Amino acid sequence: MQVRNSRDLKNAYEILSIYKELLSECGKLEPEKMKSVNEKIAEQKREIRKFHKESSDRRIVKDDGIDGYVLLIELPETLGNMQDAEEYFEERETISAMPSMFDCTGQAFTSWFKVFKRRDRFMAYHSVCFDV
C-alpha cells in the first residue's frame, strides 16, 4: 500500500497492526506463509518510513490561527509558462467549500493565490481560509 497522505498513513499503521496480530495469534504458521507475512510487514514499514522522510513541496509561511494560513507551494518543474502554472494550480490545488444551508461549517476554501517564478521554478502563495 502506497502512503501518500495522513489518511493513508493511518491505514498503513492499522494494516501493520493487523499483520502483527496475525503473527502472534497464529503462532505456528507454515514457513512459507510466515515468510509472506513478514515480507508484507517489512514492505508496510518501508512505505511508512518513505512517507516520513519525503520533503514536502509546501510549507506554511503565515498562520492566522482559526482564520486560516498562507502556504508557499513549489509547482512541478515540467510547467513551461505562467499560464500553464496558473491552470495547474486552479485544477489541482484550489480548495472549494461545499455549499451549506448552515453558517460556520468550518470548511477550508481558497481565498486567493499568486503564482510566480523563483529560481527558474514556478511557485505559488495559496491563502486558505475557514468558514467560521
* Structure confidence by residue, pLDDT tens digits, 7-28: 888 999 999 998 888 788 776 6
pLDDT at 109 over 90: yes
Q: Binning pLDDT at 50, 70 and 90, where does residue 122 land?
A: very high
Q: Which of 43, 56, 116 is nearest to 86 (CA)?
A: 116
Q: Tell me whether residue 44 is exposed, middle or buried, using C-beta atoms within 10 angstroms of its C-beta: 0 to 12, 13 to 18, 19 or more.
A: buried
| pLDDT reported for residue 97 | 83
Kindly state the cell numbers that stand for 25.
495469534
| pTM of the complete model beyond 0.85 | no
In the predicted model, what is the mean pLDDT of the chain? 88
Q: Binning pLDDT at 50, 70 and 90, where does residue 61 land?
A: very high
- 3-class state of residue 78 by DSSP: coil
Phi, psi angles (nearest 5°) of residue 30:
-60, 145
Can you tell me the mean pLDDT for 79-108?
90
pLDDT at 119 over 70: yes
Kindly state the cell numbers that stand for 60.
506554511
| pLDDT reported for residue 27 | 66
Q: Binning pLDDT at 50, 70 and 90, where does residue 74 land?
A: very high
Q: Tell me which DSSP letter residue 65 carries.
A: G
Q: Which of 67, 74, 68 is nearest to 120 (CA)?
A: 74
Q: Binning pLDDT at 50, 70 and 90, where does residue 94 land?
A: very high
- Tell me if 121 sits within 8 A of 131, measured CB to CB: no
